[in-house]
């Protein structure tokens, strides 16, 4: 079917052929031509990772079944088209959960594997790949491959974080953790500057299970960078009853209905008011800050609401208007934060345009291939898609080069290949080499992989 | 409560399997490929804790030997037969090749009649038994497009009409429900430009599940198709003959 596919940031759009097989015969027995292919999950990536010019996008959403669960050994096996929300709804009543998950229930497990996503606790539990025990991969030239640490670990490593370029993930076995309760106790801890936010996040990693900050970089007054750190802890069942005042014991029933897709779908044509303009962005952020810091007391929130904060706030993405926005996400080495901020703040002040959203997350992990992983702090900025902001992000790339920063390839639609080569260095070359060894014909291609010259 | 779903692996059949499983029905799933049936069975049994069986069988097969025994051995209290499998070829305009004709007639008509006959004796005796058929709005008025498909669906619709009469005369508690389905978002319509709004198969499945136990000789699903088809059916021939619909 001819479809116009659009990235979440609306920076990239392409007319492509979209296929949506709903039975294995149509996926596995089909004589896929020699043309380029790419798997597609929910299509909620910020970048054009699941489509490209003259590439057939293969929608995997019908392959979304739960295949096996071993509560004792702590794993679940699912088809890769299942959404995090479906999985959450299944696991939570069984007092289990996926420790690492990104912030929207409509996202598929396949998408999480391919972009090796993170959640709010990677400083403890790592990124998505850390919970993968095995993958069943389909590639038209190789057939079905079973990948695990014991079997073809190199292809497994290439696939987790491989941007869908090794083939279509059919099934995956994931670690699940025991859930102490389906509610968390949350605090918003105010901070007065960006530097304080970084320091607070660093300080709180030992005390809390889930952590991220929100900062206001829309104003250029002395309050620039103020905001709050959202810190959450799991409770035991008794804690839920006694301290949080939730109506029910687990909070499971409070989980918002998992439909999400249409509300966020960037391909859907709908009215998108341009509210994040230079004039409105400041008062909007001011109100958001006031709401976030209004009540500093600890409160109980259902885990679903906490893990998926964008539910009910999908309008955020629309408020950039038809041109959309750009997100840049940078992993800054912990020891270089102070020096980084010394250069970053003047750069931003010089630029003089508001940032719509700023968040900080703590990371602890290892760098490998093209994964957004390592130790330090993830620093995210969303800006409106305008020429001045593109120039600012270009200057930021230069600054990042100076401090050994890693940019998230899955978030930034304009990131030039030169910057990526420089930042990822040997990881980039090794990924490219291994991918070519595995798939000399390079069957799986997307706009993203073309931009990155993979 | 239990059901045999013929054509359970995808589209409406899969949505029905989910909706019946959610309601606590034990299931026997039938379609032609067990690569689809196995994961579906695993999923439904894990999520809803029901007893579930599946069998890969091509309805083009002339042999139905042993099917009745296998189904009733697995579900001795079988009380619902849902004939959902269908096959349509959008390119099917004008005289078709014999093999294509046979395929359309077998899947959409012959298999339905044979499967009903196979299980009728058992279902007639069941209190709360149901035989459900998936027809199509395409069968509401003969037109040049999709002719063999529409004719086969109309044939099965007619068989359901006779069945209802037979069950009434036999004073059987078993009920029939026949649906003339409108467009659904399944592979059958994927990528096609449709004249009217399509619905998710889950919506149709919820309605069919809710209607189990009722006597429904013919119902459009969604019901607004009744208005459209009544207009189309009442168009005088001099106008209708000019329409390429
Ligand atoms: C509201 C919101 C919040 C988010 N929060 C976070 C966050 O906290 N942390 C974070 O890291 N990310 C976050 N993201 C980004 C998101 O996690 C990723 O972009 C994810 O990949 C989207 O998954 P998808 O199902 O939409 O995949 P798509 O966008 O459809 O595809 C993404 C990639 O996955 C590949 N892919 C999909 N399915 C398969 C498959 N079965 N086999 C092989 N490859 C496949 C595609 O080829 C493509 O390369 C967020 C996104 C949104 C919209
Ligand atoms: N979709 C629509 O818009 C629409 C409109 C009007 C009426 N209908 C009718 O509604 C019913 C369901 O439609 P749908 O769109 O859900 O269809 P679908 O997605 O094509 O699914 C059809 C089901 O029937 C099974 N089937 C087909 N041929 C078979 C064979 N030879 N042997 C065994 N199983 C077979 C398929 O399984 P396998 O592929 O594994 O064999 C599948 O499970 C059909 O009767 C259709 O005619 C549909």
Q: How far apart are the CA of A17 and the centre of ligand 2, in A?
A: 23
Closest alpha carbon to A289 in A353, A231, A356, A211: A356
pLDDT over 60 (residue B230): yes
Per-residue pLDDT at A337: 97
Shortest Cα distance, chain A CAs vs residue B10, angstroms: 6
Interface contact B46-A79, CB threshold 8 A? no
> Does position B143 have pLDDT exceeding 50, yes or no?
yes
Residues in chain A: 454
CA dist., res. A199 & res. A337, Å (int):
9
Confidence band, pLDDT 50/70/90 cuts, at residue A245: very low
Q: Is the peptide bond before A361 cis (omega within 30 degrees of 0)?
A: no
Contact map slice: B 126-185 vs A, CB within 8 A: none
pLDDT in tens, A93-129: 999 999 999 999 999 999 999 999 999 999 999 999 9
C-alpha distance from residue B89 to each of A29, B73, B102, B103, B200 (Å) = 19, 35, 12, 10, 20
pLDDT of residue A263: 82
> How, if at all, do strands A227-234 and A210-215 pair?
antiparallel
Report domain extents, chain B. Answer: 2-240
Q: What is the pTM of this model?
A: 0.95
Tokens of A42: 């929910």
Judging contacts by C-beta atoms under 8 Å, the chain A residues touching residue B11 are: 22
A22 — contact with chain B (CB < 8 Å)?
yes
At residue A225, the 3 state secondary structure works out as: coil
Question: A417 touching B, CB under 8 A?
Answer: no
B240 to B94, B153, B229, B231: CA distances (angstroms): 18, 21, 13, 11
With b for 16 or more beta-carbon neighbours within 10 A and e for fewer, the B196-228 pattern comes to eebeebbbbbbbbbebbeeebebbbbbeebbee
For residue A314, give Cα distances in angstroms to A173, A263, A264, A442, B157.
30, 6, 6, 36, 46
Is the CB of residue A145 less than 8 Å from the CB of residue A155?
A: yes
Q: For residues B137-158, give the mean pLDDT.
A: 95
Which residues, in sequence order, are CB contacts of B195 under 8 Å at separation 6+?
B245
DSSP string, A4-67: EEE-TTSS-EEEEEEE---SHHHHHSS---SSEEEEESSS--SSS-S--TTEEEEE-TT---EE
What is the pLDDT confidence band of residue B92, given thresholds at 50, 70 and 90?
Answer: low
Is-contact A427 A367, C-beta < 8 A? yes
Which one of A249-253, A267-271, B137-141 scores highest in mean pLDDT? B137-141
Helices (H) and strands (E) in chain B, counts: 9, 7
Q: Output the pLDDT for position A425.
A: 97
What number of CA atoms fall less than 13 Å from residue A360's CA on the CB side?
33
Residue B27, H or E segment: strand B26-31
Instruction: Return the HEC string of A275-305.
Output: CCCCCCHHHHHHHHHHHHHCCCCCEEEEHHH
Taking the CA of residue B73 and the nearest CA in chain A, the distance in Å comes to 25
> Which pLDDT does position B226 carry in this prediction?
98
pLDDT value for B244 = 84
pLDDT-based confidence at A345, cuts 50/70/90? very high
CB A452 within 8 A of CB A417: yes
For ligand 1, the distance from its centroid to the CA atom of residue A117, given in whole angstroms, is: 7
The HSE-up count of residue A136 (CA atoms within 13 Å, CB side) is: 13
Q: Which of A197, A188, A190 is nearest to A338 (CA)?
A: A197
Q: Are A276 and A57 in contact (CB under 8 A)?
A: no
Say if residue A271's pLDDT is above 70.
yes
Partners of B55 in the beta sheet? B30
Q: What is the mean pLDDT of residues B31-55?
A: 97
Q: Report the DSSP pairing between strands A2-6 and A13-19.
A: antiparallel
Residue A398 in this model has a pLDDT that exceeds 90: yes
When pLDDT is cut at 50, 70 and 90, the band that residue B46 belongs to is very high
Of the listed ranges A427-436, B88-97, B129-138, the one predicted with least confidence: B88-97
CA distance A178 to A190: 31
- A273: tokens are 């008011």
Percentage of chain B lying above the pLDDT 90 cut: 88
B103: pLDDT strictly greater than 70:
yes
Give the model's pLDDT for residue A181.
83
The answer to whether the CB atoms of B43 and A68 lie below 8 A apart is: no
Residue A154's pLDDT is: 97
Q: Which two tokens stand for residue A372?
A: 């957004």
Whether A343 contacts A222, CB under 8 Å: no
Which of A24, A66, A69 lies nearest to residue B35, judging by beta carbons?
Answer: A24
Pair of tokens at residue A53: 């010019």
In terms of C-beta density within 10 A (0-12 exposed, 13-18 middle, 19 or more buried), how is residue A298 classed?
A: middle
Pick the closest to residue A172 from A38, A40, A68 (CA basis).
Answer: A68
Average pLDDT, stretch A242-269? 54
Per-residue pLDDT at B65 exceeds 50: yes
Predicted local confidence at residue A235, as pLDDT: 76
Strand A376-384 relative to strand A406-407, pairing: unpaired
Predicted local confidence at residue A237, as pLDDT = 57
Structural tokens at position A120: 């709010």
Summarize pLDDT for A24-44 with one digit per residue, the tens.
999 999 888 788 999 999 999
A137 strand-pairing partners: A145, A169
Query: Of A226-230, A378-382, B88-92, B187-191, where does mean pLDDT reach its minimum?
Result: B88-92
What is the pLDDT, as a whole number, of residue B171? Answer: 95
Angstrom distance (rounded) from CA B244 to CA A19: 28
Per CATH, the architecture of B2-240 is what? 3-Layer(aba) Sandwich (3.40)
Give mean pLDDT, residues A227-241: 76
pLDDT band for A223, please (50, 70, 90 cuts). confident
Instruction: Indicate whether A254 pLDDT > 70.
Output: no
Please determine, for residue A23, whether its predicted confidence score (pLDDT) is greater than 60.
yes
Looking up tokens 């309050």, which residue turns up? A223
State the pLDDT at residue A259.
Answer: 43
Six token digits for residue A298: 């600890």
Could you tell me the end-to-end alpha-carbon distance of chain B, in angstroms, rounded to an integer? 42
Mean pLDDT of chain B: 95
Mean pLDDT computed over B179-190: 96
Q: Provide the mean pLDDT of chain A.
A: 92
- Region of B237 (left: φ > 0; alpha: ψ -120 to 50; beta: rest) is alpha
Q: What 3-state DSSP class applies to A432? A: helix
Query: Measured between alpha carbons, how far is residue A23 from residues A59, A62, A171, A178, A259 in Å?
Result: 12, 8, 14, 33, 22
CA atoms lying within 13 Å on the CB side of residue A381: 22
Tokens 């009217």 found at: B196
Q: What is the dihedral of CA B165, B170, B173, B178, to 10 degrees?
A: -20
Residue A252 has pLDDT above 70, yes or no: no
Which helix (H) or strand (E) covers residue A220, if one does? none
Residue B153 or A219, more confident: B153
DSSP lists the bridge partners of residue A358 as A215, A381
pLDDT of residue B91: 66
- Asked whether the predicted pLDDT for residue B68 surpasses 50, the reply is yes
Q: Do A25 and B11 touch (CB under 8 A)?
A: no
**Highest-pLDDT range among A216-220, B49-53, B59-63, B145-149:** B49-53
- Residue B149 CA: nearest ligand 2 atom is 47
Q: How far apart are CA A452 and CA A444, in angstroms?
A: 14
Q: How many A from CA of A403 to the centre of ligand 1? A: 28
Q: Ligand 1: distance of its center to the CA of A113 in Å?
A: 8
**What strands lie across the sheet with A36-40, from one edge to the other?**
A2-6, A13-19, A55-59, A36-40
Q: For residue A248, name the pLDDT band (cuts at 50, 70, 90).
A: very low
- Residue of B32, B37, B41, B86 with the most ligand 2 atoms within 8 Å of its CB, for mutation: B86
Res. B93 pLDDT band, cuts 50 70 90: low
């Amino acid at each position: 079917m001819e479809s116009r596919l659009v990235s979440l940031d609306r920076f990239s759009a392409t007319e492509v052929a979209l296929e949506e097989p709903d039975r294995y015969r149509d996926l596995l027995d089909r004589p896929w031509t020699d043309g380029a292919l790419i798997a597609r999950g929910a299509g909620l990536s910020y970048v054009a990772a699941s489509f490209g010019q003259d590439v057939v996008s293969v929608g995997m959403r019908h392959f979304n079944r739960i295949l096996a669960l071993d509560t004792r050994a702590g794993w679940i096996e699912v088809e890769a088209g299942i959404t995090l929300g479906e999985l959450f709804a299944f696991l939570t009543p069984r007092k289990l959960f996926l420790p690492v998950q990104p912030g929207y229930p409509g996202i598929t497990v396949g998408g999480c594997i391919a972009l090796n996503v993170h959640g709010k606790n990677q400083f403890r539990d790592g990124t998505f790949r850390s919970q993968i025990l095995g993958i069943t991969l389909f590639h038209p030239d190789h057939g079905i491959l079973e990948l695990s640490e014991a079997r073809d670990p190199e292809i497994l490593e290439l696939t987790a974080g491989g941007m869908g370029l090794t083939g279509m993930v059919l099934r995956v076995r994931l670690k699940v953790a025991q859930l102490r309760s389906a509610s968390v106790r949350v605090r918003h801890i105010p901070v007065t500057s960006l530097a304080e936010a970084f320091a607070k996040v660093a300080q709180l990693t030992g005390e809390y299970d889930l952590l991220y900050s929100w900062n206001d970089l829309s104003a250029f007054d002395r309050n620039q960078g103020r905001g709050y750190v959202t810190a959450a802890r799991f409770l035991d069942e008794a804690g839920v009853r006694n301290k949080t005042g939730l109506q029910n014991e687990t909070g499971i029933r409070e989980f918002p209905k998992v439909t999400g897709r249409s509300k966020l779908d960037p391909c859907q044509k709908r009215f998108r008011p341009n509210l994040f303009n230079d004039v409105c962005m400041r008062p909007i952020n001011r109100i958001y800050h006031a709401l976030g810091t209004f009540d500093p007391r600890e409160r109980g929130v259902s885990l679903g609401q906490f893990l998926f904060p964008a539910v009910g706030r999908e309008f955020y993405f629309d408020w950039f208007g038809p041109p959309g926005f750009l997100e840049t996400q940078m992993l800054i080495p912990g020891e270089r934060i102070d020096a980084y901020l010394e250069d970053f703040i003047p750069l931003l002040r010089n630029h003089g345009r508001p940032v719509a959203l700023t968040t900080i997350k703590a990371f602890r992990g290892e760098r490998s291939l093209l994964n957004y992983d390592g130790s330090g702090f993830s620093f995210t900025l969303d800006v409106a898609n305008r020429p001045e902001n593109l120039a600012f992000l270009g200057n930021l790339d230069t600054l990042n080069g100076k401090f050994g920063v890693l940019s998230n390839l899955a978030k930034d639609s304009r990131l030039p290949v030169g910057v990526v080569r420089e930042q990822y260095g040997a990881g980039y070359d090794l990924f490219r080499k291994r991918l070519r060894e595995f798939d000399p014909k390079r069957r799986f291609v997307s706009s993203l992989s073309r931009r990155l010259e993979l | 409560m239990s059901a045999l779903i013929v054509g359970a692996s995808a589209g409406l059949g899969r949505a029905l399997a989910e909706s019946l499983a959610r309601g606590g029905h034990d299931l026997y799933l039938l379609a032609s490929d067990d690569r689809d049936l196995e994961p579906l069975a695993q999923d439904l049994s894990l999520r809803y804790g029901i007893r579930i069986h599946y069998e890969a069988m091509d309805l083009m097969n002339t042999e139905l030997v042993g099917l009745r025994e296998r189904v009733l051995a697995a579900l001795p209290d079988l009380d619902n037969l849902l004939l959902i499998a269908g096959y349509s070829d959008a390119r099917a305009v004008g005289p078709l090749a014999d093999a294509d004709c046979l395929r359309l007639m077998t899947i959409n008509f012959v298999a339905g009649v044979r499967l009903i006959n196979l299980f009728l004796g058992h279902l007639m005796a069941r209190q709360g038994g149901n035989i459900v058929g998936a027809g199509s709005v395409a069968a509401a008025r003969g037109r040049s497009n999709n002719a063999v498909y529409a004719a086969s669906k109309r044939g099965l619709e007619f068989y359901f009409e006779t069945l209802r009469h037979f069950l009434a005369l036999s004073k059987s508690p078993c009920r029939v429900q026949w649906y003339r389905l409108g467009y659904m978002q399944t592979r059958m319509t994927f990528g096609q430009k449709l004249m009217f709004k399509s619905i998710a198969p889950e919506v149709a499945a919820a309605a069919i599940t809710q209607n189990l136990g009722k006597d429904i000789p013919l119902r459009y699903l969604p019901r607004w198709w009744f208005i459209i088809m009544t207009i189309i059916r009442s168009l005088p021939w001099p106008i209708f003959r000019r329409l390429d619909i």
